[in-house]
Amino acid sequence: MNTIPNIQIQNIGSSKKPLQVIKGFIELPCWTGFFLIEEPDYLIKTKVVTNGRIDLWVDGEIGLDHSFSTNQEQGNAYVFLVEQQQEIQRAIIQELKEEFPRLLADEYASWDHENGDFPKSADLTPGFDFKDYIGPYPSA
């Protein structure tokens, strides 16, 4: 039984080498305008989340008759994510603000912090949201 809306079986392979996956989308409006990375055919491209719509890949087995089902845990996780999206986003951004100086000093010490890939420490005001630097990452 499928309890996750907006998903279906899709072929992401070719006609000679089909690769079927369970894929669709989830709508998380609080992430609208945030940075997004996609990897179609492993060629990375960037954009921003539009209308909160984010690709959703669901792990599962596809039957010979092209049927599939999701399990209860997957359905529960989907509902939790939709219902708690703003709290999850708030927690991520708050923790990132708190850890950002350490990340710059430890994890990214050898990177060029002035190249535009990182916000400036002065930007980390209470209302700063990292919108141009982070976002959801759709993956299988």
Q: Is the entire prediction scored with pTM above 0.75?
A: yes
Give per-residue pLDDT as tens, 49-66: 888 999 899 998 899 898
User: Can you give the pLDDT at residue 139?
Assistant: 58
User: Can you give the pLDDT at residue 38?
Assistant: 62
User: Can you give the pLDDT at residue 138?
Assistant: 66
Domain spans of the chain, in order of start: 7-123
User: Can you give the pLDDT at residue 86?
Assistant: 97
SS in 3 state form for the chain? CCCCCCEEEEECCCCCCCCEEEEEEEECHHHCCCEEEECHHHCCEEEECECCEEEEEECCCCCCCCCCCCCHHHHHHHHHHHHCHHHHHHHHHHHHHHHHHHHHHHHCCCCCCCCCCCCCHHHCCCCCCCCCCCCCCCCC
pLDDT greater than 90 at residue 37? no
Residue-averaged pLDDT of the chain: 85
User: Can you give the pLDDT at residue 46?
Assistant: 63
Q: What is the mean pLDDT of residues 71-97?
A: 94
Give per-residue pLDDT as tens, 93-103: 999 888 888 88
Calpha distance 103→121 (Å, rounded): 12
pLDDT greater than 60 at residue 45? no
Calpha distance 68→20 (Å, rounded): 11
